[in-house]
């Protein structure tokens, strides 16, 4: 049976309490954003003491566009990624999820950027950490990186919510399912302003609360042959939509939705085998 995972949110509930409640609800694993103010090893050890495995660490992305610029900021950000990979290795986290851009108008791809990504991926492999590149707004950067970084040690993180609200015209799984290494599962209302891709549409809602076709999503996962954890990514905005209930009750609702999706995938897989 597939493991189920839930991310930490960035809400008001302290992260330790979130981990306890995620474990108490019956989730198997978690993942969280790298935080300069929180010790990665401390957070990882606490999760494991709660009975949770760590699916991945999410790299910071606020300055990721600098990877494509021949600037000191780009060099510094590259150095930060190497440091984060050291932290992953020390904490026994074997997957680092990365964005390839931020915003709708990133710099163009360039050889300087590819050199940084190659160097980072080579270093990650030495450390035993898989880099999982996640789909975001602009498409060409992800496409070109996955073409350049063709080592199967590294791969793709499918964010189905991003696919819906940023690039609904692109079937990301049709392109990259053979390199799928992890999932970010959540819902939203799609592109609410046609012709204007906006990060505010990235709502990170609970499954079945938005307009995403979960039957289609379940079939994509089943068809891919992916057997790793089903990991659900939420934010403080997700929790605020359920503000009428305690955080623990919200997490239990999230678990119910996760089981519902897992059952859908299991049923589709049974159909495929028959």
Q: Give the predicted TM-score (pTM) of the model.
A: 0.96
Query: What separation in angstroms does the CA of 26 have from each of 23, 50, 166?
Result: 5, 11, 32
Sign of CA dihedral 210, 138, 77, 84: positive
184: left (phi over 0), alpha (psi -120 to 50) or beta: beta
pLDDT by residue for the chain (274 residues), tens only, comes to 899 999 998 778 899 999 999 999 999 999 999 999 999 999 999 999 999 999 999 999 989 999 999 999 999 999 999 999 999 999 999 999 999 999 888 999 999 999 999 999 999 999 999 999 999 988 899 999 999 999 999 999 999 999 999 999 999 999 999 999 999 999 999 999 998 899 999 999 999 999 999 999 999 999 999 999 999 999 877 767 777 778 899 999 999 999 999 999 999 998 888 7
**In whole angstroms, what is the distance from residue 121 CA to residue 125 CA?**
6
Question: Structural domains in the chain?
Answer: 4-273 (3.20.20.150)
- Cα 62 off chain centre by: 15
Phi, psi of 65, rounded to the nearest 5 degrees? -60, -25
């Amino acid at each position: 049976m597939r493991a189920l995972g839930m991310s930490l949110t960035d809400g008001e509930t302290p992260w330790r309490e979130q981990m306890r409640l995620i474990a108490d609800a019956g989730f198997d694993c978690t993942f969280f954003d790298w935080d300069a103010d929180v010790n990665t090893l401390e957070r990882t050890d606490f999760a494991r003491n709660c009975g949770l495995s760590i699916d991945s660490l999410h790299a910071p992305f606020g300055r990721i566009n600098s990877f494509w610029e021949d600037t000191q900021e780009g060099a510094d950000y590259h150095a930060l990624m190497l440091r984060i990979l050291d932290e992953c290795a020390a904490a026994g986290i074997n997957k680092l999820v990365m964005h390839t851009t931020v915003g709708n108008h990133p710099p163009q791809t360039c050889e300087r950027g590819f050199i940084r990504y190659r160097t980072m991926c080579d270093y990650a492999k030495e450390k035993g950490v898989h880099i999982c590149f996640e789909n975001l707004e602009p498409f060409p950067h992800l496409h070109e990186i996955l073409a350049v970084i063709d080592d199967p040690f590294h791969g793709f993180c499918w964010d189905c919510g991003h696919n819906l609200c940023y690039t609904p015209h692109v079937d990301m799984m049709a392109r990259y399912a053979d390199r799928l290494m992890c999932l970010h599962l959540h819902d939203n209302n799609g592109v609410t302003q046609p012709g204007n891709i906006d990060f505010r549409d990235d709502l990170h809602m609970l499954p079945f609360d938005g307009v995403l076709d979960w039957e289609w999503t379940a079939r994509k996962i089943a068809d891919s042959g992916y057997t790793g954890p089903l990991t659900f990514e939420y934010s403080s905005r997700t929790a605020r939509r359920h503000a009428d209930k305690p955080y623990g009750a919200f997490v239990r609702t999230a678990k119910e939705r996760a089981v519902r999706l897992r059952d859908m995938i299991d049923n589709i897989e049974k159909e495929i085998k028959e």
